[in-house]
Amino acid sequence: MGAPRIAVAVVTMGNRPDEVDALLESVAKQDLSPARIVVVGNGCPLPDFAERLSLPGEVTLVELDENLGCPGGRNQALATLREFGDTDIVVELDDDGLLVDPGVLSRVRDLFAADPKLGIVGFRIADEHGETQQRHVPRVGASDPLKGGYVTGFLGGGHGFRTAMLDEIGDWPAEFFFAHEETDLAWRAVDAGWRILYAPELLLQHPKTSPARHAIYYRVNARNRVWLVRRRLPLPLIPVHLGVWVLLTLLRTRSRAGLRAWFGGFVEGFQEPAGERRPMRWRTVWRLTRLGRPPIV
């Protein structure tokens, strides 16, 4: 059996042309060239990157008529790669990220090759000063961002998927549009017996941001959390999880308008269909707890 074949997928809304160019150039400088690069224009036209930049492998551009959100756009990239049928690992990168180390893709390949049950590899995200925000560390509490190991989640901005895992558990929850889609996918992966590895040596340089910069943040954050637990948690854990997050939201949110939007989204999460309910097994609850993050936090 040969080495895993890697593809790179990037979704953009067309508002960061310089950043996308820089990201693709950093992909081109990797010591392992991806077999394919897919760039999805999420409701926007795309320039001919292959003509403007010296990119390795096959470059495919997908232009969508509307913005389908982060998970919807990534699903379009995955569907395109499936049409070719020659990808074992998909590395998905935020369009304003940057691979500063030329050995990222070869390291991803080696990690997947070494562990046949490894389904997801999460990157470390740090700004241009090397700082990693605590919300980007996939552990509870003030954890060291340089400490790697098996975890319960991953960062949507930079990660690698084994395509065999996606074929088993399904792709991104497109209806989420934005917020908590990573947790939904991670819980499904762990429930199916796949492992998630946080590998801090895989660095994606990314500007320091706050998720609250998005106008829809508070509403969809609450709505999607309700959807998440309705879809994935055993019934006894749903009120516990939501109770914890109502309390945390009240303690953390200083904006009255933000709180109103959050509670509006919370109600919306119960009023609207959450999608197929496939609750995790209790042994998965125990496994997540042993890994340091019980699914009530």
Task: Give the pLDDT confidence score for residue 147 in this predicted structure.
Answer: 93
Task: Give the pLDDT confidence score for residue 208 in this predicted structure.
Answer: 83
pLDDT at residue 215 greater than cutoff 80 = no
Pair of tokens at residue 63 = 């232009």
How many Å apart are CA 274 and CA 294, to the nearest integer? 22
197 vs 73, 99, 111, 165, 238, CA distance in Å?
Answer: 24, 19, 9, 14, 26
Cα angle vertex 119, ends 118, 122, to 5°?
Answer: 95
Tokens 């990168």 belong to which residue?
A: 93
Task: Find the mean pLDDT for residues 157-178.
Answer: 97
Pair of tokens at residue 8 = 């790179």
Helix, strand, coil % in the chain, rounded to nearest 5: 45, 20, 40
pLDDT at residue 92 greater than cutoff 70 = yes
Cα–chain center distance at 237 = 24
Task: Find the mean pLDDT for residues 135-148.
Answer: 85
**Which residues is 59 bridged to in the sheet?**
37
Task: Find the mean pLDDT for residues 74-81.
Answer: 98
Q: Where are the domains of the chain?
A: 6-209, 212-276
Task: Specify the pTM.
Answer: 0.95
Q: Which helix (H) or strand (E) holds 29?
A: none
pLDDT at residue 230 greater than cutoff 70 = yes
For domain 6-209, the CATH class is alpha beta
34 vs 9, 29, 105, CA distance in Å?
Answer: 10, 11, 8
How many Å apart are CA 181 and CA 184, to the nearest integer? 5
How many Å apart are CA 11 and CA 122, to the nearest integer? 18
Residue (of 164, 151, 172, 173) closest to 192 by Cα position: 164
